Amino acid sequence: MIEIKDLKKSYLINGNKTEALKGINLKIEKGQVFGIIGKSGAGKSTLLRCLNLLETPDEGEIIVEGRDITKFNKRELREYRKNVSMIFQHFNLLSNSNVYKNVAFPLEIAGHKRDYIDKRVRELLKIVGIEDKEKEYPSNLSGGQKQRVAIARALANNPKILLCDEATSALDPLTTKQILDLLLELNKTLGLTIVLITHEMDVVDRICSNVAVMEKGEIVEEGIKDEVFKSPKSKTLRQFLQSQKGEVIYLDFKERAI
């Protein structure tokens, strides 16, 4: 479904060229929940943002359903973006619009009629489980509710792919679990392909079918999550798995103490 070929991107920071992506090759199949993990600055955010061209790559191809999206003109890109939605760490909702209006936004810009918008918004709010909040403004919602609104908004135009940019990193563990369950359910019921980046191992563990590990702008290992996690090769993944285990041991200790 998504095939990334030799993708390169560099930035000029204070006159110094920094390579964020050093030739990424990656295949993501339809229906996968694909996790990209890595430390801060590994390039995972840049990679994800290339998938809907919020970042323009310097070199390489991104083939989505047979078409190279880096060659799209403005109009094609806007149409493509209606098929590939994104949710964010800080939700990025319209603060002066209520929940209903936030979810209606992508439908309005797609030029749908009022009746359809009304029906679809209610449908979406039901899917994400906040149908009683339609008149609330984002400032009155909890983090989890805000992310639900953002997910409803992202789903409005029936996208095939959902990009998650650290979507649970600002949420508490319980809310994180609920949002992940929702994403997994959407993956199962709608056949939504999900690409997510995170530095939280639990997120990957919980919902990803496949995983890629990034270090300094390169993918150092990738594959089916269970296999990759069983025999981690990269330093990053070994460290991440260790710290995850560390937490488990700590909890055991606490339980024994009680």
Partner 1 sequence: MSEILKLVLPSFLDTLYMVVFSTLFSILLGAPLGIFLVLSDKEGLLKMPKLNSIIGSIINITRSIPFIILIILLFPLSRVIVGTTIGKEAAVVPLSIAAAPFVARVVESALKDVNKGVIEAAVSLGASTPQIVFKVLIKEALPGLILGITLTIVNIIGYSAMAGVIGGGGIGDLAVRYGYQRFRTDILIVTVIILILLVEITQRTGNYFAKKIDRR
Is residue 9 within the footprint of partner 1 (CB under 8 A)?
no
* Contact window for partner 1 (CB under 8 A) among 3-11, 17-25, 93-101, 198-206: 93-101
Taking CB under 8 A as the rule, does residue 86 contact partner 1?
Answer: yes
Task: Report 104-133 residues binding partner 1 (CB under 8 A).
Answer: 105-106, 108-110
DSSP code per residue over 138-163: GGGS-HHHHHHHHHHHHHTT--SEEE
Residues in the chain: 258
- How far apart (Å, rounded) are the C-alpha atoms in residues 59 and 217? 14
Out of 29, 59, 65, 79, the only residue in the binding site for partner 1 (CB under 8 A) is 79
Question: What x/- string results for residues 39 through 78 when contact with partner 1 is judged by CB under 8 A?
Answer: -------------x-x-----------------------x
- Answer for which of 18, 59, 67, 95 binds partner 1 (CB under 8 A) is 95
Distance CA 97, CA 115 (A): 19
Query: With respect to partner 1, which residue has the nearer C-beta, 90 or 122?
Result: 90
DSSP designation for 131: G
Report the DSSP beta bridge partners of residue 35. Answer: 196, 211
Residues that contact partner 1, how many (by CB under 8 A) = 31
Distance CA 75, CA 183 (A): 29
The CB-of-5 to partner 1 minimum distance in angstroms stands at 23
Which region among 61-69, 79-87, 113-121, 229-237 touches partner 1 (by CB under 8 A)? 79-87
Burial class (CB in 10 A: 0-12, 13-18, 19+), 228: buried
List 22, 61, 72, 94, residue binding partner 1 (CB under 8 A): 94
Stretch that binds partner 1, among 63-71, 96-104, 199-207, 214-222 (CB under 8 A): 96-104
- Shortest distance, CB of residue 63 to partner 1, whole angstroms? 20
CA gap 27, 11 in Å, rounded: 24
Euclidean distance between the first and the last CA atom of the chain, given in angstroms as a whole number: 50
Question: Measured between alpha carbons, how far is 64 from 74 in angstroms, rounded to an integer?
Answer: 16
- Residues lying near partner 1 in the complex (CB under 8 A) are found at 52, 54, 78-82, 85-86, 88, 90, 92-98, 105-106, 108-110, 137-139, 150, 153-154, 157, 163
